[in-house]
Structure formats: C-alpha cells, structure tokens
Amino acid sequence: MIRFSAIIFLVAWSNFILAADRVTGKMFATRSEVMAPSAMAATSHPLATQIALEIMRNGGNAIDAAIAANAALGLMEPTGNGIGGDLYAIVWDAKSGKLYGLNGSGRSPRSLTREWFEQNDIDKIPPFGPLPVSVPGAVDGWFMLHDRFGTLPMTRILQPTIDYARNGHPVHETIAYYWGKSIEARAPYPGFIEQMTIDGRAPNAGELWKNPNLANTLETIAKEGRDAFYKGDIAKVIGEYMQANDGFLSYEDMAAHTGNWVEPVSVNYRGYDVWELPPNGQGIAALQILGIMEQFDVASMGFGSADYIHLFLEAKKLAFEDRARFYADPEYMDVSVARLVSEDYAAKRASLIDMSEAAKTFPHGDPEKLRDGDTIYLTTADSQGNMVSLIQSNYRGMGSGMTPPGLGFVLQDRGELFDLQAGHPNSYEPGKLPFHTIIPAFVTKDGKPLISFGLMGGGMQPQGHAQIVVNLVDFKMGLQEAGDAPRIHHTGSSEPTGESMTDGGTANLETGIDYEVIRELMKRGHNIEFAHGPYGGFQAIMKHPEYGVYIGASESRKDGQAAGY
C-alpha cells in the first residue's frame, strides 16, 4: 500500500520532471520560442503564417505579408474577422525609423439617429441584424497600408487567399468549434446560411471549406482597387441588401469612407516604451493599467501571488472606469489622451487602491482636471527591419449575420458598442466612429523596435497587453512564456455602453493559479471564477536587441503558428 507521503513525493517529482523538460522550468511553458535570421510571421492560423512567409520570400515586405495574412484569415477564420469588419495597425518603418498608426474603423450610417432608437423603444443596440452594422474599414485599411509601404502588387498579395477560397482549405479545430457556436444567432439573417455554412452546419475540423463568392470579391478588389469595394458594384450590393432588409448602411456611407493615420501613444514602463493607438479604440486602457502598476514594486510580489493579482485587478478596474466614461470617437472626447496616460494622473489613480481589500466600485477620473482640450491578431517582420502589428475584427466573432448576396462575407456589428444615452462621448450619432475594442501594440527600447504584439478578445485585450508587458519586464519571462503564463480576465467593470460596476465585478483566473492564492483573494473580497475565458489569442515578434534575429511566439490556446526563415 502506497503511503500518503509517498504520493506527495511522486507528485512533486513528476512536477520536477515535467518542468525539467522546459528550459526555464516553468510549468506553464508550452514550447520554446521560434527564431529566424531574416523574417518572421505569427498569426492565428498556420496557413496564414505560411502565406505571409511566401509573400516575403518572393520580394514582398512585412506590410505586404500582413495584408496577405489578414486576407487569408478572413477566409480561414471567419469566426474572428473578415472584410466586413474594421482594422487597426502599428507599423515600424525601418527606412524612416519611426512608428505609424492606422485607424481603419468605419462610421455609423448617416441615415440612422439616436432619436430613431428612442421612437422605437430601443434602449440598447442589438448585437445582430441590421442595426449594429457600421461601414467596414478593413479593405480601405489594406490599401492605405499598401499605398504607403507596400511593394508587391495587390493582385499578387491576395492571390494565395483567392486560390484557397476556390480550391478549399481544411478547417482547424478551434475555428470549427466556434463556427458551430456562431450559427444559431445569425441563421435568421438573409445570406448567412447560404454563404457561411455547409447545408446549414459549420464545417467539421479537417473538412475542406470553399468560399467561391469571397474569391470573386477578392479578385475584383485585387484588380480594380479599393474603390471597387467602396464605390463600385460591391458597395451597391451592400447598400441594396441593407435597404431591402430594414438596414440603414447605404452606398453613400460606403463611398464616403476613409481611414485615418494617427499618432501612436506611449507610456514608459520601467525603461520600455509601450505603444498603443488612441481612441476610438481602448488601447490606452493598457497604458493606464501599466501606469498604475508602475507605482508598485511588482517584481518583488512574484508572478501568481495574491498581491500581484489583487493589484492587477484593482488597476484594471480603475482604468476601465475611465474607459467607460471618456473613450470615444476622438472628435467627441471631452478629455485629453495625454493627460489620461500621464505619470501624475497614474499616481493619483493608484492612490485609490487598498492592497488589503477589493473595491466594489471606483469613480472615474475627474473630468475637470482631465480636460485639456472575437478578433484576430497577426504580426510580421522582414529582412529590412520593418515590423507590423495588425488586428482585425467583425466584433462578435462572425459579426452581425448580415451577409450580402454573392459577396462571401458577413458585415460587422461594431455599432453595438455605441451608448444610447444623450450627452455621453460615445453616444450614438450619424456618421460617428463607435468605441472600439481591437488594439495592436508595440514596444520600443531606446528608440529602437523591440516587440510587435497583440492579444485579441474584446475587453480582455488591454488586460492581456498589460499582463504580457508585466510578464516580460517584471517577471523576466521569455516571449513565448509571457503568452503561455496563466492569465487574469476581469469582467463586470463599467462599460462604454452604459452598464456600471456595482459589486467589484468577477475575476476569471486561468488554470495554474495556486489555491492558497485564490483563497486569499476571496478573503480580500474578490469574486472568483475559474477558467472561464476568453483569455485572448497572443502573437508576438521580438527583434533581438543584441543579435538582431527575430524571435516569434504564438498563442498556445489557439490554432496559430509563429514561423520564419
């Protein structure tokens, strides 16, 4: 009979053996980093990664590769993105030695008003159907990136996806799972079942998926340019379809669209400059979290400790109260972004944290003092030193369900994120940019590019960005380890759509957090749930600061791949 003490010994020894398989001994590490001398791509789908590498091997640069990979993901992972959605990107341009930001989000229909919702007794924009549809900005974003930085013709860049759309590709396991969960809510809307299912069902894992309609759409875009999408027959089909199905998005809305080049915003976190894009996205929430965290000695707390997790949760709550009150279309914001991410404001917000007790509510910042005036992520890097951080989404996975005939893609439902109360910066208005969740990120050190990274997943994104940076900087993890480490996902904060935090929200802790830590967090007043995601989809590329080679990492919770040459 085996003694209890012997069982303890065997468990401890087995843990040691498992940890010994990993260079650092960290139990959560899934694999080593990927390294390559000339180019790297990291996406949420292996075939998209290979397409990106193929583009760079054949004379394209990182920007060309990012566009090609994004197009492929729209076909291969429609559960997260597609040309019916929006796009954001941060580009490190090696020639000029600086970062460029692209806001490729679309505006609300000009014929729909907040008063219309009031007159029809609608107090919250629904997630599906025609009402949440806004102008899709992704295709325009591709061409803005290409016109400024691209090298290969768009016909060459989009051809791999066109071929896969015609000939088929095997659907991966995670994507097949989410595809199956996406159908019921969207089935009532015209065109979805016909174009985005196989006889009313999701494709099985390993089953070939073809989308000839999308192939035709991409071929038209490749040959005729962005105006084919926004001013040609594609735009006309979208406008006529929406009008026929009680929608408001029109041909005129499509024709008027343009994205915007914006200046990335940064905070310095213990010597590293962390970059995000300004609102209408939520990127600066990650910077606000980091600004608050920097007021504390996080490294001494240790990864996975009760003090660290408590501090992170409280910092997140504080940042998200400001997110709910202030983040919006920049033309409507009544606070300064520079002030929101400033060091002295971070210190003031940090002073509200009680390390012994979880807050049930937090106030947003003082506007008088502040007033100064489901998604995919991919990253690519080339032999010239260019690096791209790109994120693209339909918002709720497969979007609104509105699927225009013959085009092969679903329109996004990003307009759901507008608030319908009068006077809020994010209140619905015609021709306005909605609050956005998708955010790319970048890290520089001493003015040189270091890391291009992102982590998809709605409100998880700024939380994930901050955790990745803390893992790298405070806890000295490697790039893959920083993504593999168990994550914290807090829900229940106040939202830009009007909901308020009243009970402190809920901390969802991924498997791997010690039970003694969990008990201590509960003693401090945190509401805890276990392994209830989403925890995000991480991809990253690092340029080695000493050797100059690229290091790649890919999310272990998804189907993706980092690879290079």
How many angstroms separate the first and last alpha carbons of the chain?
55
**Distance of alpha carbon 96 from alpha carbon 447, whole angstroms:** 12
* Torsion angles phi and psi, residue 553, rounded to 5: -140, 145
The rounded radius of gyration (Å) of the Cα atoms in the chain is: 23
Residue 68's nearest CA partner among 344, 378, 293, 361 is 378
Which one from 49, 79, 161, 375 is the annotated catalytic residue?
375
Based on the residue annotation, tell me whether 113 is a catalytic residue of this protein: no
Instruction: Provide the 3-class DSSP secondary structure of residue 554.
Output: strand
Beta strand 528-530 pairing with 506-509: parallel
Q: What angle do CA 221, 65, 472 make, to 5 degrees?
A: 135
Instruction: Decide: helix, strand or coil at residue 443.
Output: strand
Distance of alpha carbon 87 from alpha carbon 390, whole angstroms: 7
φ, ψ for residue 307, nearest 5 deg: -65, -45
Beta bridge partners of 269: 272
Instruction: For residue 78, say if its preceding peptide bond is cis, omega within 30 degrees of 0.
Output: no
For 356, other C-beta atoms within 10 Å of its C-beta total: 9
Question: In 3-state terms, what secondary structure has residue 245?
Answer: coil
CA distance 369 to 61: 45
Residue with tokens 């970062």: 99
C-alpha–C-alpha distance, residues 68 and 43, integer Å = 11
Other beta carbons within 10 Å of 332: 15
Distance, CA of 103 to CA of 90 (rounded, Å): 9
The set of catalytic residues is: 375
